[in-house]
Amino acid sequence: MSLSSSLKSFSLAVLRLPLKLLVREKRAPSDPVSEFHLSEQDHLIYVLRTQSMTSIELLRRQGEQLGLPVGKATDHNLNIPAKGSCLFLNKRPSIFRRKKVNDDHKQSLVKLLKAQKGNPDINYKLVPVSVYWGRNPGKERSFFRYFISSIEESGRFGKFLIILFSGRQCLLQYGQPIALTSPELDLDVEPKRNAHKLSRILRVHFNRAWVATVGPRTENRRELIDGIVASDSVQQVIQKEIGKGKRSEQDLNKEAGKYVKEIAANFSPRMIRFLSSILTRVWYKIYAGIEVNNLKQVRQMAKDHEIIYVPCHRSHADYLLLSYQLYHEGLAPPHIAAGINLNFWPVGSILRRGGAFFLRRSFRGNRLYAAVFNEYLYRLFNKGTPVEYFQEGGRSRTGRLLTPKTGMLAMTIQSLLRGLKKPILFVPVYIGYERMFEGKSYVGELRGKSKQKESFGQLLGVRKALKRFYGKVYLNFGEPLKLQDFLEQRNIDWQQSSVNQEDRPDWLSNTVTALGDEINRRINASASVNSVCLVSLSLLATPRQAMDKQELISHLDMLITLAKSAPYSSYTNLPQHSGLELLNTAIKLGMVQELSDPAGDVVFIEGDEAILSTYYSNNILHIYALPSLIAAIFQRHDDVSRTQVSDLVKLVYPFLYQELYIRWSYDELDQQINTVIDSLVTLGLLNESNDTLTSPADEDPNWSRLMTLAQAVQPALQRYAISLTLLHSLQDGDTLRRAELEQESQKLAQRIAALHGINAPEFFDKNLFRNLVKVLKDEDWVDHTEGAGMRPTEACRLLYNTVMSLLSVPVQQGLQQASRSLQQTKQLTAQPVVEHQSEEQD
């Protein structure tokens, strides 16, 4: 061993004790061995950005934990760098050192390239490792950042201070390994050229990884306010307002500055670290764990894309959970669009420092506010700051995805038209809970109780909720969507569109609607099927929300097997536990009760949990909607061919497609129908002979399971039947206006729910009927003349008969009876009004 190597070994030994006491490092990803498919047989070499003995010691510790080669200083006297050797691209900063680049790593790369060519059976891999201390991006203009940096580019004194104050916020981030057998490297080329190419690739990697992990440097708040007020887009609006002669330029500039202060985040890395430590304790107390799926792709794409996270909105915990987990997974926490209702003391200040920026519910009538907000959002995108917003606008009270509010999507597209440094990437995120702590308030709101305004007093009430146990949380990242690709697929020449914010392209309105729907479908495609959702879906299919325990376990096993054999999406997260384990979890969470009985134990739902169970079943209804619809056909049909099943499903499918944001397009439907039928036949729920499908015999347990499966989609079919019944009850020449059809449908649904004891307020949700009427118009099932109302077409009669044939006879009869009663009530209440009006005219 050379003298320099001996000195390095001695220095590392001296460092070992103080680092053990002062540093608590985390790594991202948490399991790089499995994520990057690393093997003990591989010849791994670690590559770091800047020379540091501390980094070598940290890699030694991590190597022992992961079963990887331990980090060690490179011995340049060896012909081939040993496993675990650390190469550095830059030298340690020094006042007296002018040359920053370290050329020693290139010499080692040349040796490795030669060794790879001479030993093709050995896999030589370079593993880039970034070391972050505190994750502070720093200010764009700061005197101190020239002396102390948040990453490893610091001198000895700076590194001492960093370890002293940020040693417990250390993150080691492993990058995608570079195999020297990669097609990008031609080993027949001169090794020096390949070494230079590798060095350049690694430098680009570290630069992009820094921005993806830490985020861009934050802008001075005073400069941010002045810059937005002075921007061309804001000044154009100000000049137009001045032209009206009502207000002075000084007043308008002052008002614009107030808007920036009201909107803009005041990001603080210290607040992020503080919230991280607090939330860690809270999450471990109330949750059984946070399960993250499909993040690898996002981690890779975050380096060269402007990331916009678009999660579903179920709970106030959503944005806290997502930012918390991204931070711990080695990604920069996003700036979050929050409603102005959350800007109350002290929450508003905390959220603002955590990256929240606030927006009003409506921009209507305030062009200056809209211009300021658009400019602020554009600056976030252009700096490369990750952003998060909830396109649903508010929290879902029914468990379904809400119709997207397209305002933020439209502003995002308009920012793209102005030109951005990075392409925009939407990342759909499904956030699923086994239990939510807002459950009780949701029950009250579903029963008609007005929503409570967020306040400090309401915040104090959270203490009681934090004493309960809420099971697991699931963060599933869906299939990313590149905005530019989406626009090009729709044949939109967006690059030629106007960059003026007030000039809305003709294609924008329809495009943002389609974009919002597509994001919703990708969120649903990444859903998580958990214990409470499955148990709720099963028990709600029974008349009294109760089932024999053994039969329930068998039904749960059947649902899991069906979801695996006819997969909804590769992004969907399915449980790996048995039906018995899932049921035990639901009982432990208090969602269901168990009653001992000599004939067999019974599991049931009671009280408010019956209403909440509709919420949880709606979380996964889209996954089982198609199997349920196919099962419903066999309620009243004995022998059906595959072609007939397909025709019946296709007729009703547009309603489910729009209501539940199901992922399959009309062209993909035939293949999925056949896949589901094959699974049902394999499970014994259907029999097939000579292309004819039949249900099992009545005494067969599989017949009961098939009928239970059919119930999942029955509430939706009943709603469709309600509107179609009202349309087909019209006399010759009569019409119904769109608003009237929606209102009458809702009234009839309320009556049916009251008569038949349907304990699900979302059954008569007006938004569902609004979507239903929209589908009737879009699919040309009604003749509609603006201002003259709607009438059903001949094709609508076939649809009506098909939907009615999917309902049981008692449900049909109850629907028709309720419709007649409603019509009679309308006639009785309308008659006196007509007579009174006649008397007044006389």
Mind listing the pLDDT tens digit for each residue in 401-456?
999 999 999 999 999 999 999 999 999 999 999 998 877 777 776 666 666 666 65
pLDDT score at 498: 66
Structure tokens at 214: 């830490």
233 and 142 assigned to the same domain = no
Number of structural domains the chain divides into = 2
Question: What pLDDT, on a 0 to 100 scale, did the predictor assign at position 452?
Answer: 66
Residues 782 and 367: their CA atoms lie apart, in Å, by 39
d(CA 195, CA 111): 9
Over residues 627-636, the pLDDT tens digits come to 999 999 998 8
User: Token pair 């690739």 is at which residue?
Assistant: 201
103-to-192, 398, 428 alpha-carbon distances in Å:
12, 61, 43
Give the mean pLDDT of the chain.
Answer: 88
What pLDDT sits at residue 231? Answer: 95
The conformation of residue 454, written as its DSSP 8-state character, comes to P
Domain check: are 245 and 187 in the same one?
no
Which of 375-389, 431-445, 648-662 shows the lowest mean pLDDT across its residues?
A: 431-445
Average of per-residue pLDDT across 464-469: 76
Q: What tokens were used for 374?
A: 């658009």
Does 458 or 243 have the greater pLDDT score? 243
Question: Residue 174 pLDDT more than 80?
Answer: yes
Confidence of residue 146 (pLDDT cuts 50, 70, 90): very low
What pLDDT is stored for residue 503 in this prediction? 73
Per-residue pLDDT at 264: 96
- Are residue 159 and residue 251 in the same domain, yes or no? no
pLDDT, residue 150, reads 47
Higher pLDDT, 379 or 812: 379
Residue 698's φ and ψ, nearest 5 degrees, are -55, -35
Q: In this predicted model, what pLDDT tens digit does every residue of 719-730 receive, in sequence order?
A: 999 999 989 888
User: What is the spatial distance between Cα 739 and Cα 334, in angstroms, rounded to a whole number?
Assistant: 40
* Domain membership flag for residue 260: yes
Kindly tell me the sign of the dihedral angle through the C-alpha atoms of 557, 559, 562, 563. negative
pLDDT of residue 232: 93
- The residue-averaged pLDDT of 11-40 equals 87
Least confident piece of the model among 76-80, 221-225, 382-386:
76-80
User: Which of 149, 180, 214 delimits the end of a domain?
Assistant: 214
Q: Which residue would you say has higher pLDDT here, 497 or 473?
A: 473
How far is it, in rounded angstroms, from Cα 411 to Cα 502? 11
Do residues 17 and 42 both lie within one domain? yes
pLDDT at 443: 72
Do the domain assignments include residue 119?
yes
Do 128 and 82 lie in one domain? The reply is yes
Query: Do residue 195 and residue 239 come from a single domain?
Result: no
Residues 256 and 129 in one domain: no
Alpha helices in 25-155 (DSSP H): 32-35, 53-66, 104-118
- The pLDDT tens digits of the residues spanning 550-560 come to 999 999 999 99
9 or 30, greater pLDDT: 30
- pTM, two decimals, is 0.92
Is the residue at 634 inside a domain?
A: no
The CA-atom distances, in angstroms, between 763 and each of 612, 719, 759 are 13, 8, 9
Q: Which residues of 348-376 are buried (b: 16+ CB within 10 A; e: fewer)?
A: beebbbbbbbbbbeebeeebbbbbbbbbb
**Domain containing residue 26:** 3-214
- Residue 609 counted as domain residue: no
Q: Considering the domain boundaries, does residue 622 fall inside one?
A: no
Domain stops at, among 475, 496, 525: 525
pLDDT in tens, 563-598: 999 999 999 999 999 999 999 999 999 899 999 888
pLDDT, position 842: 31
**Is 473 inside a domain boundary?**
yes
Q: Are residues 249 and 203 in the same domain?
A: no
**316 and 419 share one domain:** yes
Q: Is 580 exposed, middle or buried (0-12, 13-18, 19+ CB in 10 A)?
A: middle
Q: Which of 505, 525, 545 is the last residue of a domain?
A: 525
Report the pLDDT averaged over residues 80-106: 81
pLDDT value at residue 837 = 40
pLDDT at 833 over 50: no
Q: How confident is the model at residue 203 (pLDDT cuts 50, 70, 90)?
A: very high
Give the model's pLDDT for residue 446: 64
Residue 542 has pLDDT above 50, yes or no: yes
Amino acid (1-letter code) at residue 842: D
**Does 117 reside within a domain?**
yes
Q: Is residue 752 part of a domain?
A: no
Q: What does the DSSP assignment read for 21-63?
A: HH--EEEESS-HHHHTT--TTSEEEEEEEE--HHHHHHHHHHH
Which segment, 7-16, 99-108, 175-184, 826-835, is predicted with the most confidence on average? 175-184
Same domain, 128 and 236: no
Report how far residue 425's alpha carbon sits from residue 479's, in angstroms, rounded to the nearest whole number: 10
DSSP state of 200: H
Residue 244 sits in the same domain as residue 367: yes
The CATH code of the domain that includes 374 is: 3.40.1130
The reply to whether 202 and 230 lie within a common domain is no
Q: What is the DSSP letter of 564?
A: H
